[in-house]
Chains A and B, each alone.
Chain A
Amino acid sequence: MIIPLLKVTNLSKSYDNIVGCKNISMSLYPGEVLGIVGESGSGKTTLINCLSGNLEPDRGKIIFSINNKETDFLNISESEKRKFIRTDLAFVHQNPRDGLRLNVSAGGNIGEKLMSVGYRHYGNIRSLATKWMNKVEIDKSRIDDLPITFSGGMLQRLQIAKNLITSPNVIFMDEPTGGLDVSVQARVLDLIRSLVNELNLTVIIVSHDLAVIRLLADKMIVMKNGTVIESGLSDQVLEDPQQEYTQLLVSSVLHV
């Protein structure tokens, strides 16, 4: 039997009287890509922030099982939690400027995670950073340039490299192609897809763009007003939506 890498039970979070997300239960298996879709304000970001440790949920359970070791994410000490986030999780922000240090060179940005898990050899850090710049298709001659000199798509690829370099077990992506124009979006999506296949990554990806979900996600959940209204294999949900809202969502995609 395969144990789920992440098991969520009855997770709730509200902001005063406003519901963020309510009674969410789900599980994620190693190597799976889970898409979360829903309209603005449906609780996608609240959910992903709770799961990645950016927000403290009000109720519920989050259990990570990594290398046969169970971590009760909401009941560990803060130092353990931060260590876990640092070594086992990664978060790709919608706006790459939130996930990068803009006053630090590209190489420094990619190397930061390595240094924070104990790398103290400049040469090794540098060669790993170069390797990852290659992987995300950024010319290695740009290693000492500041991120402010990079285009939007390059910034997003740099952020992805920065997050993946320590081989995290779960990667959270919040609208990773949000602010990019269509051709750049395609390139970033292509990159994410090939990295997911090549490295067998486990990813939770939030998007309101169904095309992104169709392309990347194995399974998906649809959220509305803070609750999950539909879930299943992405193809299944997208081809044969059962809920009225999901039907609306699927039919509202423009076919050019």
Chain B
Amino acid sequence: MRKTNNVIKIKDFKVDKGLPFDQEYNFAYLDENTKKMIRRAIIKALCIPGYQVPFASREMPMPYGWGTGGVQVTASCLTKRDTLKIIDQGADDTTNAVSIRNFFKKTSNIKTTEITEKATLIQTRHRIPETPLKKKQIFVYQVPIPEPLAFLEPKVSETIKMHSLSEYGAMHVKLYEDISKNGHIETAYAYPVKTNDRYIMDPSPIPKFDNPKMNNSPAIQLFGAGREQRIYAIPPYTKVKSLDFEDYPFDPFKAEHACDICGSKNTYLDEIIVDDAGNKSFICSDTDFCNKRKNK
């Protein structure tokens, strides 16, 4: 195995649940120069809320679409003192979450947790936890398509211009189409928002139920798109507004049920078919929140 000068030696590690910490890797997999480059992109992104900063995305040891952007942002922000939580569709125990958590255990030997309050860094796919985020937490989103205007304008050179000149009127065409087809705004995830009254931003495919949680959040929110090579961010306490029409205001929709496990009425639910007769069950998609409520 090749060893570079950049490798940081960590002496006081402990092996966690049979997953050996591999010291041959640099801390958190990426080399220090790459992390520096990504941190610069993150700082720029934080200075211009909602603006997509290009960065030299690296090949990661996982396929595109598995969160290569989020993983690079997480790797660049991670310190030895961090406690990491990874969620996929709100759950800590699904494939994507488990494999990324194992990846960081193996390459950085940091503490991991499933409890939202205890985490200092949370990487997510498609959800924001029900437990409100707090100060000094970093929240990293995995983003497949960072460009909210891609639907309207396939040329990147043109969308860059539209962003720089705030030419966003056409964005409402998508919402108009929704209402004319369905009588209401059908877009249920990746619902476009305006950040700090300036840039229109794709919040990644989180359900629109989660959109209000981005507004004025005390946590740092970072978005990484690996394949598309873009990083963008929402600094703490920033206004994030979901787009809508005056006569069709934004509606953070959720299923009209209570969770069948914990009974919560105001959380985002997964609909699950439980037998061959088509019977359904609704349960919280945030497993940590649901477990805590159930155990109370």
CB distance from A112 to the nearest CB of B (A): 5
B150 at interface by CB-CB < 8 Å: no
CB distance from B218 to the nearest CB of A (A): 30
Contacts of A125 in B (CB 8 A): 176
Contacts of A196 in B (CB 8 A): none
A214 at interface by CB-CB < 8 Å: no
CB distance from A107 to the nearest CB of B (A): 6
Contacts of A123 in B (CB 8 A): 247
Q: Which residue of B has the minimal Cβ distance to A122?
A: B245
Among the listed B161, B173, B247, which residue makes an inter-chain contact with A112, where contact means beta carbons less than 8 Å apart?
A: B173
Residues of chain A from 110 to 134 with CB closer than 8 A to chain B in the complex: 111-112, 115-118, 120-123, 125-126
Contacts of B167 in A (CB 8 A): 82, 86, 116
Contacts of A118 in B (CB 8 A): 169
CB distance from B226 to the nearest CB of A (A): 28
CB distance from A10 to the nearest CB of B (A): 29
CB distance from A128 to the nearest CB of B (A): 12
B277 at interface by CB-CB < 8 Å: no
B81 at interface by CB-CB < 8 Å: no
A112 in contact with B165 given A122-B245, A144-B181 (CB within 8 Å): no
Contact present for B177 and A115 (CB under 8 Å): no
Contacts of B181 in A (CB 8 A): 105, 144
Contact present for B180 and A108 (CB under 8 Å): yes
Inter-chain CA distance A101–B153, complex, in Å, is: 10
Contacts of A144 in B (CB 8 A): 180-181
Inter-chain CA distance A78–B167, complex, in Å, is: 12
Report the interface size class on chain A. Answer: 20 to 34
Contact with A along B177-208 (1 / 0, CB 8 A): 10111000000000000000000000000000
Q: Which residue of A has the minimal Cβ distance to B162?
A: A82
A-B contact count (CB 8 A): 53
A26 at interface by CB-CB < 8 Å: no
Inter-chain CA distance A144–B183, complex, in Å, is: 12
By the criterion of a CB under 8 Å from any partner CB, how many residues of chain B are at the interface? 17
Contacts of A101 in B (CB 8 A): 152, 173
Contacts of B180 in A (CB 8 A): 105, 107-108, 126, 143-144
B246 at interface by CB-CB < 8 Å: yes
Q: Is the interface of A mostly helix, strand, loop or mixed?
A: helix
Contacts of A120 in B (CB 8 A): 172, 245-246
Contact present for A115 and B173 (CB under 8 Å): yes
Residues of chain A from 65 to 85 with CB closer than 8 A to chain B in the complex: 78-79, 82
CB distance from A149 to the nearest CB of B (A): 14
B64 at interface by CB-CB < 8 Å: no
Contacts of B165 in A (CB 8 A): 78-79, 82
Residues of chain A from 45 to 104 with CB closer than 8 A to chain B in the complex: 78-79, 82, 86, 101, 104
Inter-chain CA distance A108–B179, complex, in Å, is: 10
Contacts of A116 in B (CB 8 A): 167, 169-170
Contacts of B177 in A (CB 8 A): 104-105, 108
Contact present for A108 and B173 (CB under 8 Å): yes
Contacts of B245 in A (CB 8 A): 120-122
Contacts of A108 in B (CB 8 A): 173, 176-177, 180
Among the listed B161, B169, B247, which residue makes an inter-chain contact with A122, where contact means beta carbons less than 8 Å apart?
A: B247
Q: Which residue of A has the minimal Cβ distance to B165?
A: A79
Contacts of B161 in A (CB 8 A): 78, 82
CB distance from A65 to the nearest CB of B (A): 24
Contact with B along A207-243 (1 / 0, CB 8 A): 0000000000000000000000000000000000000
Inter-chain CA distance A116–B149, complex, in Å, is: 14
Inter-chain CA distance A121–B245, complex, in Å, is: 5
Residues of chain B from 144 to 171 with CB closer than 8 A to chain A in the complex: 152, 161, 165, 167, 169-170
Chain A residues engaging chain B, CB cutoff 8 angstroms: 78-79, 82, 86, 101, 104-105, 107-108, 111-112, 115-118, 120-123, 125-126, 143-144
Can you list 30 A-B contacts (CB < 8 A)?
A78-B161, A79-B165, A82-B161, A82-B165, A82-B167, A86-B167, A101-B152, A104-B173, A105-B177, A105-B180, A107-B176, A107-B180, A108-B177, A108-B180, A111-B173, A115-B170, A115-B172, A115-B173, A115-B176, A116-B167, A116-B169, A118-B169, A120-B172, A120-B246, A121-B245, A121-B246, A122-B246, A126-B180, A144-B180, A144-B181
